[in-house]
Amino acid sequence: MANGFRLKWTIEGVPELGRILQLKHKQLSDFKEPLFKSATMITDDVETQFRTEGGLSGGWQELADATVAGRLRAGYGGEHPILQKTGALKKSFYKRVDSRRAFISSTSPYFGFHQSRKSRTTKLPRRPMLLLTQRTKENIQEVFNKFLRFK
């Protein structure tokens, strides 16, 4: 793409944010700075999702009575916090950033079951942790606009 580049964030295979930013005469190849800032915003939103039990996405479905009873029997306490019985899922998120792309994911084997929008093949309810809010989309665009403006 001559004189421009595509900024594209995808979650669950759906383009959540796509925009072509024109570079005009600028020859830039290292976008690590704005990509790192953008990835940090998204991982901050993951942290908020855990802290607010899905507050950025309308709230997570409450735990089933059997799950609460199992937690109590195992000594983990009652219903809350959701998805944080041991803390392993919350700690499993990571980001990788280089000069051309940012990648955010989880090493947890069950992250995808709660995150997925696909038809449910499990009893686990959808509880998205990784998402792009409108506010974060706008902030990412602003980070890239400032980066390009001053280069």
The C-alpha angle with vertex 18 and arms to 133 and 150, in degrees rounded to 5, equals 90
Domain-embedded: residue 41: yes
User: Which pLDDT value is given to residue 151?
Assistant: 60
The token pair that represents 74 in the structure block = 């195992």
Instruction: For the chain of 151 residues, list the mean pLDDT of each consecutive stretch of 10.
Output: 60 62 62 95 96 95 89 82 90 94 91 78 82 92 86 60
- Count of domains forming the chain: 1
- Whole-structure pTM value: 0.81
Q: In this structure, is residue 134 part of a structural domain?
A: yes
Confirm whether 24 is domain-assigned.
Answer: no
Q: Is residue 110 part of a domain?
A: yes
What is the reported pLDDT for 1? 44
Is residue 115 included in any domain, yes or no? yes
Is 149 within a domain? no
What pLDDT is stored for residue 100 in this prediction? Answer: 87
Asked if residue 99 belongs to a domain, the reply is: yes
Q: Give percent helix, percent strand, percent coil of the chain, each to the nearest 5.
A: 40, 20, 45
Structure confidence at residue 25 (pLDDT): 44
Give the number of C-alpha atoms closer than 13 A to the C-alpha of residue 115, restricted to the C-beta side: 21
The domain of 57 spans 29-143
Can you give the pLDDT at residue 89?
A: 94
Cβ 30 vs Cβ 16: under 8 Å: no
Can the peptide bond before residue 125 be classed as cis, meaning omega within 30 degrees of 0? no
